[in-house]
């Protein structure tokens, strides 16, 4: 996740990439900004946004949109998501955990290249107490 592409390595970029590598919770840009600033307290928002955009363009992270928020996903493998309606957490769901989606009889002449499934419900922690 750290290969350069005509880019220079800097402490800011290193921290952003490291934070994303460990992130399991689809952080927002602001969460990345806060985390990086705990280590390097003068890091600017512009650098965080620029770096996130470059990583995205380089295909090293993805964006996830949920509940009107833009979040970043360091997992670039083909996978799905589970969203808890109570706490809002977004968990990865392995591609193979969901059986092949069979789409047929689509109205137009679309060419389907990929798909993703969003499962919604209550996560384990938000389950009512029996």
Partner DNA sequence: TCTAAAATTAGATCTATTCTAAAAACCGTG
Partner DNA sequence: CACGGTTTTTAGAATAGATCTAATTTTAGA
Closer to DNA by CB, 33 or 84: give it. Answer: 33
- Separation of alpha carbons 84 and 42, rounded Å: 34
CA 104 to each of CA 101, 107, 110: distance values in angstroms, whole numbers, following the listed order? 10, 9, 11
Rule CB under 8 A: is residue 31 a binding residue for a copy of itself?
no
Tally Cβ neighbours within 10 Å of residue 36. 24
Asked whether the CA dihedral 19, 25, 26, 31 is positive or negative, the reply is negative
Give the footprint of Mn ion on residues 12-71 (CB under 5 A): none
| Interacting partner of 92 out of DNA, Zn ion, Mn ion, none (Cβ under 5 to 8 A depending on kind) | Mn ion
Give the footprint of a copy of itself on residues 48-67 (CB under 8 A): 63, 65-67
Stretch that binds a copy of itself, among 14-22, 25-33, 51-59, 86-94 (CB under 8 A): 86-94
Stretch that binds DNA, among 10-18, 80-88, 91-99, 118-126 (CB under 7 A): 10-18
| Interacting partner of 87 out of a copy of itself, DNA, Zn ion, none (Cβ under 5 to 8 A depending on kind) | Zn ion
Closer to Mn ion by CB, 12 or 90: give it. Answer: 90
- First-to-last alpha carbon distance for the chain, in angstroms, is 43
- Separation of alpha carbons 28 and 44, rounded Å: 15
């Amino acid at each position: 996740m750290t290969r350069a592409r005509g880019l220079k390595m800097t402490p800011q970029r290193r921290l952003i990439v490291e934070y994303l590598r460990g992130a399991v919770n689809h952080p927002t840009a602001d969460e990345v900004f806060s985390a990086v600033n705990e280590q390097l307290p003068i890091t600017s928002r512009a650098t965080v946004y620029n770096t996130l955009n470059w990583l995205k363009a380089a295909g090293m992270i993805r964006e996830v949109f949920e509940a009107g928020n833009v979040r970043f996903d360091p997992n670039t493998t083909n996978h799905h998501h589970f969203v808890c309606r109570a706490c809002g957490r977004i968990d990865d769901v392995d591609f193979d955990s969901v059986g092949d989606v069979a789409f047929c009889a689509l109205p137009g002449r679309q060419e389907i290249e990929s798909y993703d499934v969003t499962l919604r419900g209550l996560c384990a922690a938000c389950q009512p107490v029996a």
